[in-house]
Structure 1
């Protein structure tokens, strides 16, 4: 077990790299129960060998929502997958040598993309359901994100806690049809913690963007670790994992993080939240011309018109976490502001300590909030009423725009021949959807995670007929619960189920 320093952070000399890697292999064997052929949560009739070179799979007869205007949508069509990639889309494709997946009654569409998720907090699910970002002096807001999550819980994570939280959070999103995530880990207390994040993302087997977001003091202790991680794990472009540099402007020395990210030629992402008093610094960066197309700005609440214009002019990307922004006092989600600036946002789940990480919640919240504002203006007789966003718009935010924001649109985000096959099959015959009358509307306004029938990442089936493949969920649940118990005890926080 990792020794803690008197501030609750892992001590620099807590364990050798060799001991950690040895321990991680033992833990990996324990958690490789994740993928062991135990028969737990596996589907016996799932096609085998999917995603392998030359393996042909024909997804036949589904309602195809491609999210590619050049490809179009089909009331009934096939999707041919060869190895990792989509080879063809259209009616009655040649199935010679292909395994057939009957998609009758299914909506076939690209996997969802979450552009901002703190997966290391999975064991803290719902703990902060009633909380806000920062204590405002009112007794009911004493339990808040800044003090409890950042200053208590996050300080006592061991590498093994990082691993199981990251892995379980990834698999839970796969189950919900999220095939790509930017994981904002913020838990890099030591190189061992960082390695545990990467290992969990690798073991989860989905497309992940490793967000190296340093916390207070981390950079001073491990000044070269971002470069080490990039060289060790992200030197190849032909893999499911890529990397983003965190450039948080509320951490002293953030300028160095931006410099490192740009030297490494990776995107620089950061939270931009008015509640944290970031507006003056953000304005300074805008005026200095520091924004670029490599920037991902998360939330963008409470920022000046000048900074918005500079971000739009630079081609920066905006990631919105609408339910969280409304619930936790980040500020009103700037959906309409982004659209007015000509910026197409992506959607993100943020923190499961407060809200579920399923994509249907994110889409529905965005859809209803923007329309509520526009409808209110219309009812008030305003002359300048924004266009109501559509269900198709919102699905685009949750797929293709996310891929663009993460610089992955050449690989994923739409069903396009040549792209990798990140595909979900959604059950449109289920009791909450049937009879099907409008494909995008059904996805956004009716569906939830129980409708996610099957999930494919880079051509490999990861969920089949409602079950994650080769995942020992009872075992992983026990490990996550053990991590939760450690975190509450080590942080000195009482776990009261009805507080």
Structure 2
């Protein structure tokens, strides 16, 4: 008989219930699944977890993340995305298996400690080998987090990310990357991994063509075919920076100058598509996405840190396009924390229109749970606390100072919670954080391991920084040229010139 757990006496946050003062109820879990939610449940053979004084929240879904540069946390400030790539691309490539395992565990544990039970890892795995795939999947199983894994693929070199790249000297272009694997080789690799590691338990798959401008139509059509055959969600970076609008208009003329049109023309604009960032998407393209039931994953933290701009929250809401939230790289945001992302969603909406709008805290929570679940292809399995769904739960300690006084669960989760109140975390019915202690991984041993790895990592990073100094003036000039052209939309704060 499957193991049974009765979580007794907690306040259960239900999307359709009282979002300010959730009802007190019990949650009965059998194996990995919630089988009942209600008052005074009875299960004589069940282990009991007392949840009085706790707020039970659906596990949060980090719908966009890259684990390849987790060890670069805290190394960058005041970098544009394109310049940042000069450093992060080499620091995520060709690393040891020990380092790959450690960086995967660090990111996973940070997610769990901040209430994230599902992470979509859009991983730049260089080299793209089965051994490296095995290390990553094993680390996620070890941590106990629900993972949706997608090795990134591209067959147009990374230098294509830079508009006006023709102005860069050959050696600077080489720093960004001028080589790529072929489309057929990568598609065969993806199919082989799906065959080797069928989705089971808390391990799931997605597809990740890096970006439309980084992939040939052959590769994108191949991803569309795999997506349809295996019912897999697709994630790709679109309109993260201003320069990508110019790339679309100048290099994709046969598709109307639109990356969304291009994705539609190669068969990817379907309900399985999620485009990441969308800072510089036009209103017409939002409507096009909404009509196709395609999704957008917002990553405010990295867009701010890497000087990309502010995604148009109110226009996205009005278009009806489905939304999810992500945290992105640890080097681009420095933190895996969806409480910050939810708060920014509400605050950016607030300063987008001087007229008061509807309260958004509960909506932000939906995007971080049900929206993320839908994005990663698990819309009917996670994201809510109800019978039949996976038991991915977060126990929030209502004795934390963030809830003194306690007036609204939704608003205080979004506006006052930092992650400090996360006391326990359950994934698929298994308690992976229990009253502040991670039960799956020896955190102290991991700290010591990372400290040892960082001695070599920092030396390698310092060498990369020195080697990139020559590139900086050329990158800055290319960036100025991007900003010298009027594209008819604004995504930055306006400075006072008087």
Q: Does the 8 Å contact 1:123/1:483 carry over to 2?
A: no
Equivalent residue in structure 1 for 2:34, among 86, 89, 113: 86
Aligned to 1:393, what secondary structure does the other structure show? Answer: helix
Classify 1:287/1:424 alpha carbon distance in 2 versus 1 (closer, same or farther; 3 Å): closer
- Computed over aligned residues only, the root mean square deviation of the Cα atoms, in angstroms, reads 2.4
SS of residue matched to 2:381? coil
Distance 1:190 1:404 in 2: 28
Matched with 2:489 is none
Contact 2:64 2:122 (8 Å CA) reproduced: yes
**Residues of 2 paired with 1:494 and 1:147: CA distance?**
9
Query: Does the Cα contact within 8 Å between 1:188 and 1:194 map onto a contact in 2?
Result: no
State the alpha-carbon separation in 2 of the partners of residues 261 and 394 from structure 1: 30
Among 203, 208, 217, the alignment partner of 1:241 is 203
Q: Contact (CA 8 Å) 1:63, 1:77: kept in 2 or not?
A: yes
* CA gap 1:309/1:449 in 2 versus in 1, 3 angstroms: same
Give the 3-state SS of the residue equivalent to 2:121 in structure 1: strand
Question: Match of 1:279?
Answer: 248
Q: Give the aligned partner of residue 451 of structure 1.
A: 421
Deviation of 1:167 after TM superposition, in Å, equals 1.6
By how many angstroms is 1:389 displaced?
A: 4.1
Q: Distance in 2 between matches of 1:218 and 1:480?
A: 30
> Which residue among 434, 438, 444 is the counterpart of 1:464?
434
Residues 370 and 389 in structure 1, CA contact (< 8 A), matched pair in contact too? no
Residue of structure 2 in register with 1:390 after alignment: 360
Q: CA 1:162/1:127 → structure 2, altered by over 3 Å: closer, same or farther?
A: same
Distance 2:68 2:206 in 1: 16
Which residue is equivalent to 1:54?
2
Residue number in structure 2 paired with 1:42: none
1:232 equivalent to 2:205? Answer no
1:212 maps onto 2:151 in alignment:
yes
Does residue 113 of the first structure (1) align with residue 61 of the second (2)?
A: yes
**Which residue in 2 is equivalent to 1:13?**
none
In structure 2, distance between residues paired with 1:433 and 1:74? 14
1:312: which partner in 2? 290
Q: Indicate yes or no: 2:213 matched with 1:250.
A: yes
2:142 paired with 1:203:
yes
Higher helix proportion:
2
Unaligned runs of 5+ in 2: 158-178, 253-258, 467-498
C-alpha displacement of 1:157: 2.2
Provide the residue aligned with 2:234 in structure 1. 268
- Uncovered stretches (5+) of structure 1, i.e. residues with no partner: 1-52, 135-143, 379-384
CA distance 1:482–1:84, change in 2 (3 Å): same
CA deviation map 1:326-347 (0-9, x unaligned) = 2312232132222111123111
Deviation at 1:254, TM superposition (A): 5.4
Q: Does the residue aligned with 1:184 lie in a helix, a strand or coil? A: strand
* Structure 1 partner of 2:112: 174
TM-score by length of 1: 0.79
Match of 1:362 in 2: 341
Distance 1:309 1:255, change over 3 A: farther
By how many angstroms is 1:462 displaced?
A: 0.3
Superposition pairs of residues 321-332 of structure 1, within 5 angstroms: 321-332=299-310
1:429–1:436 contact (8 Å) kept in structure 2: no
CA-CA distance at 1:489 after TM superposition: 2.6
Cα distance in structure 1, aligned partners of 2:18 and 2:219: 42
Residues in 1 aligned to 2:266 and 2:124: alpha-carbon distance in whole angstroms: 27
Structure 1 counterpart SS, 2:45: coil
Q: How many residues align?
A: 422
Displacement, 1:418? 0.8
Give the alignment partner of residue 351 of structure 2, picking from 369, 372, 375. 372
Tell me which moved more, 458-467 or 97-106: 97-106
The structural deviation recorded for 1:468 is 0.8
How far residue 211 of structure 1 moved from its aligned partner, in angstroms, is 1.5
Q: How does 1:389-428 map to 2 (within 5 A)?
A: 389-428=359-398
Equivalent residues of 2:236, 2:276 under 8 A apart: yes
Deviation by residue 1:240-259 (Cα, 9 ceiling, x = unmatched): 11111112213242541442
Q: Is residue 62–residue 78 contact of structure 1 (8 Å, CA) maintained in 2?
A: yes
Secondary structure, aligned partner of 1:119? coil
Q: Would the aligned equivalents of 2:94 and 2:127 in 1 still touch at CA under 8 Å?
A: no
* Cα distance, 1:283 vs structure 2: 4.5
Partner of 1:288: 265
Q: Which residue of 1 aligns with 2:170?
A: none
Counterpart Cα distance in 2 of 1:260 and 1:286: 11
